[in-house]
Amino acid sequence: MTVYLTRRERFNAAHKLWVNEWNEEENRAVFGKCSNKNWHGHNYILFVTVKGTPDPKTGFVMDVKKLSNLIREHIIDKLDHSNLNLDVDFIPKEIQPTTENLAILIWQQLQPLITECKLHSIKLHETENIFAEYFGD
Amino acid sequence: MTVYLTRRERFNAAHKLWVNEWNEEENRAVFGKCSNKNWHGHNYILFVTVKGTPDPKTGFVMDVKKLSNLIREHIIDKLDHSNLNLDVDFIPKEIQPTTENLAILIWQQLQPLITECKLHSIKLHETENIFAEYFGD
Amino acid sequence: MTVYLTRRERFNAAHKLWVNEWNEEENRAVFGKCSNKNWHGHNYILFVTVKGTPDPKTGFVMDVKKLSNLIREHIIDKLDHSNLNLDVDFIPKEIQPTTENLAILIWQQLQPLITECKLHSIKLHETENIFAEYFGD
Amino acid sequence: MTVYLTRRERFNAAHKLWVNEWNEEENRAVFGKCSNKNWHGHNYILFVTVKGTPDPKTGFVMDVKKLSNLIREHIIDKLDHSNLNLDVDFIPKEIQPTTENLAILIWQQLQPLITECKLHSIKLHETENIFAEYFGD
Amino acid sequence: MTVYLTRRERFNAAHKLWVNEWNEEENRAVFGKCSNKNWHGHNYILFVTVKGTPDPKTGFVMDVKKLSNLIREHIIDKLDHSNLNLDVDFIPKEIQPTTENLAILIWQQLQPLITECKLHSIKLHETENIFAEYFGD
Amino acid sequence: MTVYLTRRERFNAAHKLWVNEWNEEENRAVFGKCSNKNWHGHNYILFVTVKGTPDPKTGFVMDVKKLSNLIREHIIDKLDHSNLNLDVDFIPKEIQPTTENLAILIWQQLQPLITECKLHSIKLHETENIFAEYFGD
C-alpha cells in the first residue's frame, strides 16, 4: 500500500532571468520583464511529496513534522528572503533560476535526505498562474 | 530530465446540458438544474500542462508567455464570454459541453500547436467542487 | 457587544448586460464582451453578514444554519442555474444584472427576513477579480 | 478516451494520535501536540477522482451529483462532526486516524460502490499544508 | 494617516456546543451536529488587524514579526491542538466556544497587549463558509 | 444608494527594507531577513475599492474595465517586475517600501484619477499572511 504525502512550504525571493553572453536587448527579447536588471521577486509555494507505506503503529508514511523541518533546514532557510541568482549555495551561477530549474535543484537537494520513504515529486508555484513539477527523471 | 510546466487561464461562459431527442422532463431527470432552458454559467479555470527538458540556456521547458498567448488565441478568446452550446467553432453542436468533453476538445485544439515540447494534460475546473482532467488517450 | 457573523453561499448563473434602447454596436461599446447576445455566465460567491450581540446561552448572533437556510430559500434557489436577465422574480427586467445591482437586490430580499439580529452587508463576487458590497444605504 | 473527474467534499472532525501501549510521554515524543488527550480537530477536504470514458449522449464519465450523493451517504455523513477515533464504523479502533490511513479507509469504502466507472484516487487535505493521496495499491 | 495592518495565523482545535442545563435532545435541537458529545473540530483561521500611523523611518504601523509572536504566545500556543471547551485558560467553562464568542475572547486577550498602535478587529474563520468579526464594542 | 466595487490586480516585485543611516547590524536588528542586501521579493495582490451609486442605465458604479486599465497604466505597469526601492517614480527613495507605505502611495496615485465615483480603499497583500489597508486619512 503506497500513500503519497505532501507538505506545503513557502519562501519569498528575488531573481532575474539573464544570459550573460547576451546583451540587454537580447535578454529582453527572450525573457521580457523577467530580465529587469534590478531584479523582481515572488512568493514561491513549494509542495514536497513523499511516498511509502504507512507505519502500522503510527500511521505515518513519514513524520510530517520531520519532513517539514528537513525542508526548512535544507531549502527554505536558504531560499527565503534570498536572491536566487546570487545568494544560494545549491543554485549554480550559470543556471537560470526558472521555476523549472528550481524544481530540479530542490529535488537534488532533498532526494538523498529522504531515507525512510521515497521522494516522489517537487512542485513549485511561482505565481498563481505558473507552476512546475519534477519527478526525478 | 522531464519537467512539467503548467499555465492557468480563466474564462466565463454560459451553457446548458440538453439532449435534443429527449423532452424537457427527460432532460430534467438526467441533467437536473443544468438543463435549464435559459442557460446558466460558470467561471471556468483551465490548467494546461506541457512537459519537456528545460533548455540549457533559458531554463525554459517552453516560454510560458508563448504558451499563454497560444492558449488565449486558440481557447480563451473563443470560450470567454461565450455560450458553449452555440458560439464556439470547435465544440460540435451534438456534443454535450460537460467539463469532461470540454477537457477533451481543448486538448484536441492545443495538442497540434505545441511543437517545441509536449502537451501533457488539460485540467478544467467548472466549480470549486468539480473538475476534469484529460491526458490525451 | 456587536459581533459580525458572515455566511458564504454560491450560485452559478447566466446573464448579459444589454440596454434595449441601444443597438448592438452601442451595447458592445459600453459593455464589451458582456453584451454577447447568447449570454455568458459566472460562479457567483455571496457573503451575507449579520450583526448583533451573541446570545448568552447559545453564543449565537444568529443560528448560522437558519441563516443559511434563509439565504438558500430566498436567494440561492432562485438564482442558482438561472438566467439572471430572464428567470428571477426579484430582478426587474429593466435593471442590469451587474454585480453592483445584484448586491442591492439581494439586500432588499434578505433585509426584511432577518429579524432576530440585523443585516449588515451583502458582498458578491462575480470573478476572482471583481466584487461588490452593499450596506443598505 | 479516459477522462478523470473529481468531486470535492468537506467534513469537520475531532481526532488524536495515540498508541495505547505507549504512555503519555512516549506518545508526546512521537505525535507531539497531536497526542493531546482532550482531542483537537480539522476541516478536512476530500477529493474523490473517478475515471472512465464520457458517455456519448450525456458527456458524463459519471453523474457528478450521483457521485456526490454516494460520497455524502457513505463518507461525509459518517465523518462530519464526528470523533474519528471513537465514532466511525469503518475506522478500526487500533488504526491511527492519520491523513494517510484515512485516505486508504475512504478508498476501501468507496471503491466497491463505484461501478459505472472506476475509482482513481482519494486525496485528503488535513490542513492547507498537509495532504495525502491514495491510488488503491 | 491611519493604515490598517493585518496578520493571519491558524490553529486546529476540537470543540462542541453544549448547554449543561439542557438534555441531549434539547442540545441537539439547538446545536445540531455541533453538539456531538465526542466533539468535532476545525482548522480555524485568525486575522488580527491593528491600526496606526506608519513610523517615518521603518514604515511600520507595528513590527509584523512582533505582532505575530504576540499572537502566537498569547493565542495560538493556547488554542492550537487544544479542546476549546476544556483546555484553554481564557475561555470560561460556561461560555459556548462559538466563532462569535471566540472572536470576543481573543480580542480581550490581545487588546491590552497591543500598546504601540491600536487593535482594530479580530476576524475568525471556522470553516470556508462561516466567519465572525469583532471590533471591540 | 452607495455600492462598493472592488477590482483585484497583481504585481511581482523585489524590495528590501533598509535605513541608510543605520549599519547592517542595526538594519538586521529591526528588519530581520527583509534587510538582505541582495533583495528579496513578493507576489503582491492589490485590491482597489471605489464607491458610488450604480448608473440607472448601465448598473455600473464605474466601468470595471476602465478601472482595471487605469490601475494597470498608473500602478501595475510601474510596479510589476520592478525593484520597489530603485525603479518606481512615485516611491521616494527615502520611504521604506513596506506594505503600509505602498498602500498609501498607491492611494495617492489613484485618488486624483478616479473622478466619476470615489476611491474608497487600497488593500495590499504582501504574503498570504500579511496585508495592509488604507482609506485616505
Q: Of the listed F9, F34, F74, F100, which one is catalytic?
A: F34
Dist CA A9 CA B89 (whole Å): 43
- Which pLDDT band, with edges at 50, 70 and 90, does B20 fall under? very high
pLDDT of residue A104: 98
3-state helix, strand, coil in chain A (%, to 5): 30, 30, 35
Give the count of Cβ contacts less than 8 A between chain B and D.
Answer: 59
Q: Concatenated DSSP letters for chain F? A: --EEEEEEEEEEEEE----TTS-HHHHHHHHGGGG-TT-EEEEEEEEEEEEEPPPTTT--SS-HHHHHHHHIIIIIHHHTTEETTTS-TTS-TTS---HHHHHHHHHHHHGGG--SSEEEEEEEEEETTEEEEE---
pLDDT of residue D43: 98
For C118-132, what is each residue's pLDDT tens digit? Answer: 999 999 999 999 999
- Which pLDDT band, with edges at 50, 70 and 90, does E45 fall under? very high
pLDDT of residue C2: 98
**C-alpha angle with apex C49: C114 to C128, nearest 5 degrees?**
135
Q: Of the listed E34, E42, E74, E133, which one is catalytic?
A: E34
Q: Grid coordinates standing for A90?
A: 545549491
For B92-130, what is each residue's pLDDT tens digit? Answer: 999 999 999 999 999 999 999 999 999 999 999 999 999
Dist CA B49 CA B58 (whole Å): 19
For D47-72, what is each residue's pLDDT tens digit? Answer: 999 999 999 999 999 999 999 999 99
Dist CA C14 CA C41 (whole Å): 4
- Residues in chain B with CB shorter than 8 Å from the CB of D9 are 129
| C-alpha pair distances (Å), D19 with each of A11, A58, D36, E12, E38 | 35, 7, 12, 21, 19
B8 close to A (CB below 8 A)? yes
Query: Would you call A54 and D97 a contact, using CB atoms and an 8 Å cutoff?
Result: no
Dist CA B68 CA B70 (whole Å): 5
Encode burial over A54-80: b for 16+ CB neighbours within 10 A, e otherwise. bbeebbbbbbbbebbebbeebbbebbb
Active site residue F126: yes
The answer to whether residues A2 and A66 touch, using CB atoms and an 8 Å cutoff, is no
- Which pLDDT band, with edges at 50, 70 and 90, does D119 fall under? very high
- Residues in chain E with CB shorter than 8 Å from the CB of C3 are 100, 103-104, 132-134
Give the count of Cβ contacts less than 8 A between chain A and D.
Answer: 59
B6 close to A (CB below 8 A)? yes
D72 close to B (CB below 8 A)? no
| C-alpha pair distances (Å), A13 with each of B55, B68, F15 | 23, 24, 10
Q: Grid coordinates standing for C37?
A: 447576445
C10 close to E (CB below 8 A)? no
Neighbours of A11 (CB within 10 A): 22
Mapped onto helix, strand or coil, the DSSP state of residue D91 is coil
Query: Would you call C137 and F1 a contact, using CB atoms and an 8 Å cutoff?
Result: yes
F66 close to C (CB below 8 A)? no
Query: Would you call B101 and D54 a contact, using CB atoms and an 8 Å cutoff?
Result: yes
pLDDT of residue B91: 98
Nearest CB neighbour to E36, from listed D36, D38, D81: D81
- Which of E31, E35, E40 to probe by mutation at the D interface, max D CB count within 10 Å? E40
For E50-68, what is each residue's pLDDT tens digit? Answer: 999 999 999 999 999 999 9
> CA-CA-CA-CA torsion for A67, A69, A72, A73, nearest 10 degrees?
-120
Q: What ipTM score was computed for the predicted complex, to two decimals?
A: 0.97
For C124, the enclosing helix (H) or strand (E) is strand C118-127
Query: Would you call F82 and A15 a contact, using CB atoms and an 8 Å cutoff?
Result: no
- Which pLDDT band, with edges at 50, 70 and 90, does B50 fall under? very high
B96 close to D (CB below 8 A)? yes
The answer to whether residues C127 and B41 touch, using CB atoms and an 8 Å cutoff, is no
For range D19-35, the mean pLDDT: 97
Query: Would you call C59 and E30 a contact, using CB atoms and an 8 Å cutoff?
Result: no
Dist CA F101 CA A4 (whole Å): 43
Q: What length is written for chain B?
A: 137
Q: Do chains C and D touch (3 or more CB pairs under 8 A)?
A: no
Q: Grid coordinates standing for C52?
A: 448583533
Mapped onto helix, strand or coil, the DSSP state of residue B77 is helix
For A43, the enclosing helix (H) or strand (E) is strand A40-52
Mapped onto helix, strand or coil, the DSSP state of residue B61 is coil
Q: Concatenated DSSP letters for chain E? A: --EEEEEEEEEEEEE----TTS-HHHHHHHHGGGG-TT-EEEEEEEEEEEEEPPPTTT--SS-HHHHHHHHIIIIIHHHTTEETTTS-TTS-TTS---HHHHHHHHHHHHGGG--SSEEEEEEEEEETTEEEEE---
Nearest CB neighbour to C130, from listed F3, F7, F57: F7
CA distance C55 to chain B (A): 34
List of residues 6+ apart from D77 with CB closer than 8 A: none
The residue extents of the domains of chain A are: 3-134
Residue D30's φ and ψ, nearest 5 degrees, are -90, -45
Residue C23's φ and ψ, nearest 5 degrees, are -85, 180
For range C19-39, the mean pLDDT: 97
Dist CA B15 CA B106 (whole Å): 16
Each of the 137 residues of chain A gets a pLDDT tens digit; together they read 999 999 999 999 999 999 999 999 999 999 999 999 999 999 999 999 999 999 999 999 999 999 999 999 999 999 999 999 999 999 999 999 999 999 999 999 999 999 999 999 999 999 999 999 999 99
Does the domain spanning F3-134 belong to CATH 3.30.479.10? yes
Encode burial over C10-24: b for 16+ CB neighbours within 10 A, e otherwise. bbbbbbbbbbeeeee
Active site residue E24: no
Identify the residue whose cell numbers are 514561491: A44
Q: What is the mean pLDDT of chain D?
A: 98
Mapped onto helix, strand or coil, the DSSP state of residue A136 is coil
Q: In chain F, how long is the greatest CA-to-CA distance?
A: 61
For B67, the enclosing helix (H) or strand (E) is helix B64-71
C47 close to F (CB below 8 A)? no
| Residue B7 one-letter amino acid | R
Q: What is the mean pLDDT of chain C?
A: 98
Half-sphere CA count of E109, side-chain side, radius 13 A: 23
For range F43-64, the mean pLDDT: 98
Q: Grid coordinates standing for E20?
A: 449543561
- Residues in chain F with CB shorter than 8 Å from the CB of C131 are 5-6
Q: Of the listed B34, B42, B74, B120, which one is catalytic?
A: B34
For B11, the enclosing helix (H) or strand (E) is strand B3-15
Mapped onto helix, strand or coil, the DSSP state of residue A23 is coil
Nearest CB neighbour to B42, from listed C15, C34, C41: C41
Dist CA B36 CA D7 (whole Å): 22
pLDDT of residue E66: 97
- Residues in chain B with CB shorter than 8 Å from the CB of D59 are 17, 95-98, 100-101
Termini Cα distance of chain E: 23
F30 close to E (CB below 8 A)? yes
- Kindly tell me the burial class for residue A92, based on how many C-beta atoms sit within 10 Å of its own C-beta (0-12, 13-18, 19 or more): exposed
Q: Do chains A and D touch (3 or more CB pairs under 8 A)?
A: yes
Q: Of the listed F9, F100, F126, F133, which one is catalytic?
A: F126
Query: Would you call B42 and C42 a contact, using CB atoms and an 8 Å cutoff?
Result: yes
Query: Would you call B81 and C40 a contact, using CB atoms and an 8 Å cutoff?
Result: yes
- Residues in chain B with CB shorter than 8 Å from the CB of C34 are 81
Query: Would you call D132 and A8 a contact, using CB atoms and an 8 Å cutoff?
Result: no
Q: What is the DSSP letter of A113?
A: G
For B46, the enclosing helix (H) or strand (E) is strand B40-52
D9 close to A (CB below 8 A)? no
D133 close to E (CB below 8 A)? no
A128 close to F (CB below 8 A)? yes
| C-alpha pair distances (Å), B14 with each of B83, B86, B108, C12, D65 | 5, 9, 21, 10, 20
Q: Do chains F and B touch (3 or more CB pairs under 8 A)?
A: no
For B100, the enclosing helix (H) or strand (E) is helix B99-110
Active site residue C126: yes
Dist CA B109 CA B72 (whole Å): 12
CA distance C20 to chain B (A): 18
Q: Which long-range contacts (CB under 8 A, 24 or more apart) does A19-26 make?
A: A19/A96, A19/B57, A19/B58
- Kindly tell me the burial class for residue D38, based on how many C-beta atoms sit within 10 Å of its own C-beta (0-12, 13-18, 19 or more): middle
CA distance D129 to chain A (A): 5
Query: How many Å separate Cα B137 from the centre of its chain?
Result: 16
Q: Of the listed A24, A26, A73, A81, which one is catalytic?
A: A81
Dist CA A85 CA A99 (whole Å): 13
pLDDT of residue B55: 98
Q: Is the alpha carbon torsion for C86, C90, C94, C98 positive or negative?
A: negative
Q: Of the listed A34, A42, A100, A133, which one is catalytic?
A: A34
| C-alpha pair distances (Å), A85 with each of A94, B113, F17 | 9, 33, 19
